[in-house]
Amino acid sequence: MVIVNYRTAKLAAACLRSLEPEVRTSTGIHVVMVDGGSADGSAEVLARTIEEQGYGSWVTFLPLDRNGGFAYANNQAIEPALREVGRRRPRFVYLLNPDTEVFPNAIRTLVEFMRDRPEIGIAGSRCENEDGTIRRTAFRFHSVLGELEREAGLGVVSKVLAPWVVAPPVQDRPHPTDWVSGAAMMVRTEVFEQIGLLDDRYFLYYEETDFARRSAEAGFECWYVPESRVVHYCGQSTGVTGASAVRRVPRYVYESRQRYFSKHHGLAYAAVANAAWMVGACVPLIRQGVRRKEPSSRSFQRYTDFVHHNFALWTTR
């Protein structure tokens, strides 16, 4: 298991506490707690927690000297594990966010689900909010029509474009899906052997989508397994997503989005996807105008940020 912390030491410590019962009653689980260059005292707090709580037998602490992003930090733990031989070499790698707590048997459920199904390369847990409501964590790949639907947020548009909705309604049974949230994602070791590590040219966001697409192209399936349950206090490190979202969307999100579309579909498709986003984002602004409501400054801000950052990305290529 790999947990990457960035300035959320208290939550990461709580995550370890939630894992302890399953680790103590299972065999073969080892956790690498990575601190991604937090530089806020997190590394010291986590090192002390691991020592004082006696976690050292099943947790390795790996502090990094810089914040290279989510994929980079995970790779620092995954790559050495893949070089192991014999019984020390993992059959599965579970990526888990530090702002999570696992329910009993969450890990065992995924391992047992994947063990006798070699065609499944990736499986994701069900992520829940603190109040028990279920988060949408099984997704379709991003597309032009998916960008239009997501930004428009209009019932009739969503109904027509239902096959392209990126985050479809949650199902209560295991099912195949295009990709799952990297907040709680199990990966078969053979996937890394065939397609390589996470692409660390993504700083944050879209890296698990990219990885799942590469996995699918290599012939592996991706499944959502709701019996494996995790509480996810979303967005605690970034302040960009979840109930705690307070920040403007940072440049690296636009860079990751642009990289994903360009890498997998080409520059022309990426340009059309940008146009679809802009058209979709106009819909709520127009609707507010028709209703004679003042459009929120946040809506205008998102739109102008999108245009500004994407124009900058295209002109610096």
For the CA atoms of the chain, what is the radius of gyration? 20
Q: Return d(Cα 41, Cα 199) in angstroms, integer.
A: 28
Q: What residues contact 143, with CB distance under 8 A and at least 6 apart?
A: 164, 273
What are the pLDDT digits (tens) for 35-58? 999 999 999 999 999 999 999 999
Q: Give the DSSP per-residue string, 40-92.
A: SSHHHHHHHHHHHTTGGGTEEEEE-SS---HHHHHHHHHHHHHT--GGGS-SE
Q: Return d(Cα 92, Cα 209) in angstroms, integer.
A: 19
> pLDDT class for 313, splitting at 50, 70, 90?
low
The sign of the CA dihedral 221, 224, 230, 235 is positive
Domains and CATH numbers, the chain: 2-135+170-241 (3.90.550.60), 145-164+248-317 (no CATH)
> pLDDT class for 289, splitting at 50, 70, 90?
low
**Is residue 263 packed enough to be buried (19+ CB in 10 Å), middle (13-18) or exposed (0-12)?**
middle
Q: What residues contact 40, with CB distance under 8 A and at least 6 apart?
A: 7
Percent of the chain with pLDDT over 90: 79
> pLDDT class for 127, splitting at 50, 70, 90?
very high
Burial pattern 43-58, b for ≥16 Cβ within 10 A else e, equals bebbeebbeeeebeeb
Residue 244 confidence (pLDDT) above 60: no
In the chain, where does DSSP find H-type helix? 9-25, 42-52, 70-82, 106-115, 144-152, 155-160, 189-195, 207-217, 251-265, 267-290, 297-315
Q: Phi and psi at residue 100, in whole multiples of 5°? A: -130, 160
Give me the pLDDT at residue 310, please.
83
Residue 108 confidence (pLDDT) above 60: yes
Candidate from 20-24, 166-170, 256-260, 282-286 with smallest mean pLDDT: 282-286
> pLDDT class for 27, splitting at 50, 70, 90?
confident
Give me the pLDDT at residue 284, please.
78
Q: Return d(Cα 228, Cα 108) in angstroms, integer.
A: 8
Category of 184 on φ-ψ map: left (φ > 0), alpha (ψ -120 to 50) or beta: beta
What are the pLDDT digits (tens) for 194-222? 999 999 999 999 999 999 999 999 999 99
Q: Evaluate whether 147 touches 276 at the Cβ level (below 8 Å).
A: yes
Q: Return d(Cα 24, Cα 248) in angstroms, integer.
A: 42
Residue 246 confidence (pLDDT) above 60: no
